[in-house]
Amino acid sequence: MKYFHLLISLTLLVLGIRPTFVLAFEPVKAPKAMVVSADAHATQAGLDVLRAGGNAIDAAVTTAFTLAVTYPNAGNLGGGGFLLFRDPMNKVYALDFREKAPGSATRDMYLDANGNVIDSASTFGYRAAGVPGTVRGLWQAHQRFGSLPWEKLLQPAIHLAEKGFVLDEDHVRRLSSALPYFNRFSSSQEIFTQQGQPFREGNTLVQADLANTLKRIAREGAAEFYSGETAKRLSADVQANHGYITLDDLKAYRAVWRNPIKGTYHGYSIYSMPPPSSGGVLLVEILNTIETFPLHKLGHNNSRSMHLWIETERQAYADRSQWLGDPDFSKLPYRFLMRKSYAESVRHRMNLLTAGTSKAVFPGKPIGHESDQTTHFSVVDSAGNAVAVTYTLNGNFGCKAVAKGTGILLNNEMDDFSIKPGYPNMFGLVGSEANAIEGHKRMLSSMTPTIVLKRDSLFMALGSPGGSKIITNIAQVISNVIDFNMNIRQAIEAPRFHHQWKPDSVFLEKDRFSLDTIQALENLGYKLVFKSYMGYVQGIKIENGKRTGWADPRSNGQVAGF
């Protein structure tokens, strides 16, 4: 039957009709437990932990460390991110292991004497790196909720780093794209090139320094990364290359448990990350605003429903620019953005007949006061524990520099600050004083690991990379499931679109929308930009007590369960 539907899709393409999704396509199903990630090695390693009696947190630790080896453009030890955990009693926990600015960081550190932004200073090389949070975050999650020994959980990553793994076409493509940058750092060139030349499909990538680093972390825990031999090597190399991270910065770093964002959508409970992620706040704002429109009657991804989504997203990203940052440094009046009453005021301001303009849309006034190369994975175990983790180096392979003697790629997260008021970062996002650079401050993020409950039962765990597009990816997938009764595979594979206030353009997934829809949107007055990359959603949905999951086919991920 699946071949019949595939034949229909191919026939439609020959006729010039772009199918949005095939209704008969089914997700992977498993009765007990499931892992979905961007890499087959990592998914299998996480699943093996679950089979061995580990819980979802144990599997998440293994999956994350394995991704640092086999998915080095985004999986990491040298970056940071967010973890959402739901236990069988419906208690949801949010762990912030976002990177921090080094202590010596200053507001104008990426500006020249004339106040102009220095090209690439916040994106390339050692100066672009923030203090990493991943190892501390995984350690704190395991110390609180893990069940298997820490050292055991790192063994798959150690094995793959030490013995190597065979590179497929996607690995080679990603490594080749960064080749000119790797060749500017001897420590990166030594690992991620073949004496300055690109790897070929079928070659084996061995990362001996990273294997030794992982062995030390396995024996000694997170303290080794932040004050031991690894910390000393990392900080010394950064300092030798005019970067900002010091040993004291590493010693001072801690992940933070925060209260998760909670909203509702058509009776479902939506849990996601609070600031310094903008993800949870904007996700709830967008869903609140779109909730009262009859999307199921208007139709899926046609110009009428997309018009409503676009105007909703425009306002949400305008609000993001003004009101969000690190809550440890500023009082952020973001809760008004999540009120149903605020959503109603947004709907009243929306132009329902033609395209709005971003110059006419401003951040909402309170009462009172993000790289494409991120990765996400989701885990559900047999007891009903669920974990959604999104973590990143920010840009593809971060700042492209490996800390000498560690095998660790460093992030370029400093670009996620507002390095100059009104100046866009690599994702085109602008910010305000709330996200200005300051020593020890966490930079604003778009990462949106999310857990959805249905009548106090686990319903979905999902997330996505995609920089500024992450939030709209997750909102649209949730709507696909709830408003249009799609299974998780259909919801993830459906075409996606995005608007972020500035630039004033609608980003459409290339070759996925009908010519009629494109023409109708242009007639409404929208400027359309077609993109081949809109992020890779990795999700698990509970159906009739079974785990159903899907790895976004836009990437080379894998879902597996038992």
254-288: per-residue pLDDT in tens? 999 999 999 999 999 999 999 999 999 999 999 99
Looking at residue 417, its pLDDT comes to 93
Tell me the mean pLDDT per 10 residues along the chain, length 562: 41 41 74 98 98 98 98 98 97 98 96 93 97 98 98 98 97 97 98 98 98 98 98 98 98 98 98 97 98 96 96 94 89 91 94 74 50 86 98 96 98 92 60 85 96 96 95 98 98 97 94 96 97 94 96 95 98
374 is catalytic: yes
Phi-psi region of 404 (alpha: psi -120 to 50; beta: other; left: phi over 0): beta
Read off the pLDDT of residues 80-101 as tens digits, 9 standing for 90 and up: 999 999 999 999 999 999 999 9
Q: Where do the structural domains in the chain lie, given as residue ranges?
A: 32-257+373-435
Rounded to the nearest 5°, which phi and psi values hold at 11? -65, -45
- Alpha carbon distance 466, 447 (integer Å): 9
Read off the pLDDT of residues 436-486 as tens digits, 9 standing for 90 and up: 999 999 999 999 999 999 998 999 999 999 989 999 999 999 999 999 999
- Alpha carbon distance 545, 406 (integer Å): 44
- Alpha carbon distance 463, 264 (integer Å): 17
Residues 6+ apart with CB under 8 A from 40: 556, 557, 558
67 to each of 173, 309, 374, 404, how far by Cα in Å? 17, 33, 11, 20
Residue given tokens 């997938």 in the structure block: 477
In the numeric block, which tokens belong to residue 415? 């670009």
For the residues of 60-127, what is the DSSP string, one character each? HHHHHHHHHHH-TTT--SSSEEEEEEE-TT--EEEEEE--B--TT--TTTTB-TTSPBPTTTTTSSGG
- Alpha carbon distance 271, 262 (integer Å): 5
How are beta strands 528-531 and 506-509 bridged, if at all?
parallel
Looking at residue 13, its pLDDT comes to 42
As a whole number, the mean pLDDT across the chain is 92
Read off the pLDDT of residues 104-143 as tens digits, 9 standing for 90 and up: 999 999 999 999 999 999 999 999 999 999 999 999 999 9
Of 457, 48, 104, 475, give the one whose Cα is nearest residue 279.
475
Looking at residue 352, its pLDDT comes to 81
Looking at residue 190, its pLDDT comes to 98
CB atoms within 10 A of CB 455: 8
Q: Which of 62, 134, 230, 374 is catalytic?
A: 374
pTM for the predicted model, two decimal places: 0.92
- Alpha carbon distance 150, 157 (integer Å): 12
